[in-house]
Amino acid sequence: MQTVKVALFSSEQDRSYPIYIGNALLEQVDLLLPHLPQKRVAIVTNTTVAPLYLDQFRRALERHGICSVAIILPDGEDHKNWQTLNLIFDALLEQRCERKTTLIALGGGVIGDLTGFAAATYLRGVPFIQIPTTLLAQVDSSVGGKTGINHPLGKNLIGAFYQPRMVLTDSATLTTLPDRELRAGIAEVIKYGLIRDADFFMWLEQNITGLITRNADILNKAICRSCEIKAEIVAADECEGGVRALLNLGHTFGHAIENAMGYGVWLHGEAVAAGTIMAANLSKQLEFINESDFERICSIFQKIGLPVSAPKLSPDDYLSLMKLDKKVEEGRIRFILLKRIGEAMMSHDIPASTLRETLLTCMANE
């Protein structure tokens, strides 16, 4: 087991928390005990994860004298909305859950975001713990305290920054993850190398086969390094006032794709992959990266089997959707670009003609 710390300090309190990463950690309830203010928890999961891990986890809790309430939600990005959030509130109220009742998110990114938002707002704030079961959630959404739901006009536009008490990442849960979702998660892992660590990106190029075939050692190393990078950035900028925005490489384009196609049609990691290619293309046109770097970026996504072309929409449609991005400031879209592999930057001074050229170049020719 490896431990990564998210260091969050303020003048009033230390809100730092650990991320435990390893194989077969789900039953190590002793790791959770110091973070539970009472021996009652509410486990939020979905119809896909519950049959796989819920009973096992509840039995482990019972052996330590912890009783649990199970809240099982429908699965899918299209359920990340007010209606599903209210199902959590309904269950918590019906079961008389209190301010010291910890909410535990057992599932992927949708479950983590919904549970975190519920925890931030139920009784004006209750503790919560993340137990991510998808690669994408393990390396990204479970860390850093971003919670929320989608709106018909845009992704993750309603939410709150609310940190978990801890994150328990059991890489053994990836054995049941569908291949498509595993590949989507690898897209977020690649992002960390591109924005912060050129050596890590090179290591990923050399170990792509091990990631795809679920080699436990390689997966754990990729998860750990991804979490280290995210923890460093979150500690420096918890509420995305500056450097944390760099974590959104590919997301401005990617969220537009998800919205245009309908939530759940493209997985988040698939949209981020295509969006990252678009951001890299824009970086190349602006002469920040060269053709060789661009080809390396395209190649690694292609080897995984992720999309490297965006769906065909009009440039105006893309621009309209991207203007709903959370990074828009004074009406201007702020883009995350690559100065080089291993270093990202933010820019809003993009010539309209250059942006349109990227949109036209990166769309599928179907």
pLDDT value of residue 11:
65
Distance from C-alpha of 288 to C-alpha of 233, rounded to nearest angstrom: 22
Active site residue 240: yes
Which structure tokens are listed for 209? 């086969």
Q: What is the 3-state secondary structure (H, E, C) of 45-74?
A: EECCCHHHHHHHHHHHHHHCCCEEEEEEEC
Q: Which residues pair with 131 in a beta bridge?
A: 106
Q: Looking at 161, 176, 191, which one is the last position of a domain?
A: 176
Q: Looking at 150, 176, 202, which one is the last position of a domain?
A: 176
CATH number for 214? 1.20.1090.10
pLDDT value of residue 365:
65
CATH number for 130? 3.40.50.1970
Which one of 251, 284, 326, 334 is the catalytic residue? 251
Which structure tokens are listed for 289? 């990266």
Active site residue 248: yes
The answer on whether 262 is annotated among ligand-binding residues is: no
Active site residue 244: yes
Distance from C-alpha of 273 to C-alpha of 271, rounded to nearest angstrom: 5
Quick check: 322 pLDDT over 80? yes
Same domain, 265 and 132: no
Which one of 124, 330, 365, 366 is the catalytic residue? 124
pLDDT value of residue 154:
85
Same domain, 265 and 299: yes
Average pLDDT for 61-84: 96
The answer on whether 35 is annotated among ligand-binding residues is: no
Same domain, 104 and 202: no
The answer on whether 5 is annotated among ligand-binding residues is: no
Active site residue 100: no
Q: For 268-287, how does the pLDDT look when each residue is reduced to its tens digit (9 = 90+)?
A: 999 999 999 999 999 999 99
Same domain, 56 and 163: yes
Quick check: 333 pLDDT over 70? yes
Q: How far is CA 285 from the centre of its chain?
A: 28
Active site residue 251: yes
Distance from C-alpha of 225 to C-alpha of 17, rounded to nearest angstrom: 17
The answer on whether 108 is annotated among ligand-binding residues is: no
Which one of 183, 225, 255, 326 is the catalytic residue? 255
Q: Contact, 181 vs 135, CB < 8 A?
A: yes
Which residue segment(s) compose the domain that 156 sits in? 2-176
Distance from C-alpha of 310 to C-alpha of 158, rounded to nearest angstrom: 26
Active site residue 99: no
Looking only at the bridges linking them, the beta strands covering 67-73 and 128-132 are: unpaired
Contacts for 100 with CB less than 8 Å, ≥ 6 apart:
37, 38, 126, 127
Which one of 46, 156, 248, 259 is the catalytic residue? 248
Active site residue 165: no
Same domain, 341 and 278: yes
Percent of the chain with pLDDT strictly greater than 90: 90
Which one of 228, 240, 258, 270 is the catalytic residue? 240
Per the structure, how many domains does the chain have? 2
Q: Looking at 176, 197, 229, which one is the last position of a domain?
A: 176
**Prediction pTM value:** 0.94
Which structure tokens are listed for 199? 């050596």
Which one of 40, 58, 244, 334 is the catalytic residue? 244
The answer on whether 77 is annotated among ligand-binding residues is: yes
Distance from C-alpha of 280 to C-alpha of 194, rounded to nearest angstrom: 10
